[in-house]
Amino acid sequence: MSAKVRLNRHETIGEVDKRIYSGFIEHLGRAVYSGIFQPGHASADEDGFRRDVLELIRMLDMPLTRYPGGNFVSAYRWEDGIGPVEKRPARLDYAWKAIEPNTFGLDEFMKWCRKAKTEPIMAVNLGTRGASEAMDLAEYCNFKGGTYWSDLRKQNGAEAPYNIRYWCLGNEMDGPWQAGHTTARAYGALAREAGKLIRGISPEAEFIVCGSSSAEIKTFPEWDREVLEETYEIADFIALHRYFANDRGTAEFLTAPEKMASQIETIVCTCDYVKALKRSAKTIDLSFDEWNIWFRSKGKDKNSSSEWTVGRDILEDIYTMEDALVCGGLLCTLQNHCDRVKIACLAQTVNVIAPIMTSREGGAWKQTIFYPFLYASRYGRGVALKMNIESGSYECGGRNYPYLVGSAILNEDRGELTVFAVNRNLEAPLPLKVTLENLNAEKILEFVSLHHADLLAENREHEEKVRPEIRTDAVAENGTVSAMLPAASWNMIRVKIL
């Protein structure tokens, strides 16, 4: 049983947009309070931001960070989080049954972004609020001065405008759980007007409109079509959301990359249908701005911590080796659809279904999924090549799935080819042979493998069971790259190209 891959320099998918390696911080659980922000902690800086967390986030090199939600945003008053902290009101958080103290808000987030070396995607409340409040927010953030909101920003310590470019117009408005849940037509009309007002203040603004909250919801993809029909003139992206779960066994769980690919391809078709319907020259791209693995903590919120408290311990999934395999495969899918997926946000970044965990009194550490994301972000920038794969397969649900999931990124500036490969064979190693066409391989730069004998192995604060192994047994010769992929492993092979 082996896997053969053919790569040709001239058979390309497109340029991988670095924005697909973005993150998400919502006022949810301990993402903010005791996550990125914890005044008085041993690692806190002068602004109360945890330095240990900042260091790990900078390692991941996330170009954008979506904020402040998520479900949280649909009942959020952004004005509560500006001005003197002692005068800010505490509010009930409808979405997550918590108390929001508003000691961390818009201005703190913008300071944090600069330190984390990321840029904001600002989500706008179109659930319980409307176009007027969205316009006020844009004026506060982006107008130079001489008006009420822009001068208030200056008074609050930010002389220069924030010049926020990316805006999410609402969040999951198709979901009955959402504050302000509505129809696609009503949402689309509101988003169109909010976008018009924001763009009047900030002509360079780019908008992400709400697509379906999942591929399983019964209105998918009809919701997406109707929203685009209402918003096509102002929209730049449509949002996709998807969380994957092991609820039918490991074999089915490992097919998550194919499920993500199907969702992407369905929405691409939907976008292009509306483009044709509108006789438009504009192409709508995709923002997969919520994706991850989430199932262990679902439905267990009431057992984890008290409702109506600050920084509840909720949605704190601890990831396994198995989850790292799925995460690595999903990253390959995003890379392989880089012609249309231009933004993607791992949801979320810290503590809440996240690659980074903290303890309130202790340190920060890397979950198993940290590593596939780290290497994809670091070396998955360049041109994605089409992978022509011949591989053994396994049967699941009446369909055959190849053992090999992969992607290949050519970076001409660095003179490197990077192959990402997931071996879904749980029992045996997979010999891999990559044939290069119009590509001259000089040598192997790095072969990194992530695997563990126990698929349920986890990382904890003082015990990192799952960590990358540097291997030396990959070979580049005679126009081929060969390697042995361990059973149930995620792998990265970097090759120097002449």
Angstrom distance (rounded) from CA 52 to CA 364: 6
Task: Outline where DSSP puts E strands in 301-403.
Answer: 341-346, 356-358, 364-366, 383-385, 388-391, 393-396, 399-402
290-300 residues labelled b (16+ CB within 10 A) or e (exposed): bbbbbebbeee
Considering the candidates 139, 290, 316, 322, report the single residue annotated as catalytic: 290
What region does 156 belong to: left with phi over 0, alpha with psi -120 to 50, or beta?
Answer: alpha
Considering the candidates 172, 193, 206, 316, report the single residue annotated as catalytic: 172
233 as an active site residue: the answer is no
Q: Is 225 helix (H, G, I), strand (E, B) or coil?
A: helix
What lies within 8 Å, CB to CB, of 269 at 6+ separation is none
DSSP string spanning 54-112? HHHHHHHT-SEEEES-SGGGGG--GGGGSS-GGGPPPEEETTTTEEE--SS-HHHHHHH
Nearest Cα neighbor of 120 from 47, 188, 175, 202 is: 202
What lies within 8 Å, CB to CB, of 310 at 6+ separation is 33, 98, 99, 100, 101
Phi, psi of 385 (to 5 degrees): -95, 150
DSSP string spanning 1-23? --EEEEEETT-EEEEPPGGGGBE
172 as an active site residue: the answer is yes
Catalytic residues: 172, 290
